[in-house]
Amino acid sequence: MKRTIFNRRQAIRMLASTCCVAPWAAHATEVAKLKFTSFEPPMANITGNVLMPFAREVSAASQGTLQIDMFPGGTLGRNPLQQLKLVTDGIADIGWIVLPYTPGRFDDTEVVGLPFVSTNATEASIALHRLYASGALVGFEGLKMLAVGATPPVGIHGKQPVRMPADLRGKRVRVSGDHLTRMVEALGGAPVSLGAGQIAESLSRGVVDMTLNNWGFVGDFKVNEVSSEHFEIGLGAVAVGVVMRKDRFDALPAAAKSAIEKYSGEVLARKIGEAFDRQEKEVRERVSKSGKNQVVQPSPADTDAWKKATEPLNESWRMAKPRNQRTYNAFVEQLKRIRAAS
């Protein structure tokens, strides 16, 4: 009889314990689902080769606490200029953004847009992310940047040849970012702001005469199909990033945050830069061999002419605010360290 009473009491305690634990266990195993937006097509270089693998790796490493779903091709919002707003408004949780598309907020990152400072996307991306991680850049309040990076330096692509700075005079030039806008204006051109998906059609219809883009962009958005002249002068890069809202990140389970931290930061910035540089070479070679496009590299004299024409603009940016010179010095110092270590 005592054993029977004991067993009944034990069973009741076990049942009560199970009832108390079950809700907690269900909560503990709940999966946080994050929407990752990209305005690029799913097979575009960065989205297909970097961002989608990142989403899979982080989800797998999160111990079942996190699921990141990609929404490429603008399925959450097509306008490239509005990708950051999709994140800050909570429509998306993570976004692939072009920082100059939010004018006036990320001014420090314009340092990558200075012509003839960086030579490739990998070094520029690592250097810029290090500045962000050190707290040297402003404009990121309320945001958790999973990576801050940069494209390769842009070249000039259009239907008519450009060799010297004077060739931009009177031309309608598609640009991205305040610094390139000021440069085109200083050289007598008319800067035009267009979303990525509008450029090829605008070139085809004569809305713009030329566009300043890196080769990867040219390939992803089929600019080479409506242009025939390509001048590789390297007029500065464009800052990009992978962004979350900080409060959204902070609310994630510890294992989910740990997984994101493992695969983001400088690791992700490097992957973005390396993917840009690989694509830069691949697209350039393909376009050069097409038989329909002329790819021209500047002579030393041409390069000197462009440096002479753009240096006053670089100097003006450095002197515009005291922090600009500090940002420039820190960026150049990081580039030196990266080159020395390579």
Residue 25 above 60 pLDDT? no
Q: For the segment 209-240, what is each residue's pLDDT rounded down to a tens digit? A: 999 999 999 998 899 999 999 999 999 999 99
309 and 165 Cβ atoms separated by less than 8 Å = yes
Give dist(CA 238, CA 194) in Å, integer.
Answer: 15
Q: For the segment 77-104, what is each residue's pLDDT rounded down to a tens digit? A: 989 889 999 999 999 999 999 998 898 8
Give dist(CA 190, CA 41) in Å, integer.
Answer: 29
Assess if residue 26 is contained within a domain: no
Q: From the centroid of its chain, how far is CA 50?
A: 11
Give dist(CA 245, CA 243) in Å, integer.
Answer: 7
Torsion sign (Cα): 295, 297, 301, 306: positive
Give dist(CA 76, CA 328) in Å, integer.
Answer: 36
Mean pLDDT value of segment 150-163 = 96
**DSSP 3-state assignment of 229?**
strand
189 and 169 Cβ atoms separated by less than 8 Å = yes
Count: domains in the chain = 1
Assess if residue 15 is contained within a domain: no
Assess if residue 18 is contained within a domain: no
Q: For the segment 189-199, what is each residue's pLDDT rounded down to a tens digit? A: 999 988 888 99
Mean pLDDT value of segment 167-185 = 91
Q: How confident is the model at residue 1 (pLDDT cuts 50, 70, 90)?
A: very low
Lowest mean pLDDT among 68-77, 127-136, 188-197, 201-210: 188-197
Residues in the chain: 342
Q: For the segment 290-320, what is each residue's pLDDT rounded down to a tens digit? A: 999 999 999 999 999 999 999 999 999 999 9
Mean pLDDT value of segment 22-50 = 79
Give dist(CA 196, CA 218) in Å, integer.
Answer: 10
> What's the CATH number where 121 sits?
3.40.190.170
Which residue range forms the structural domain that includes residue 222? 31-341
pLDDT at 29: 60
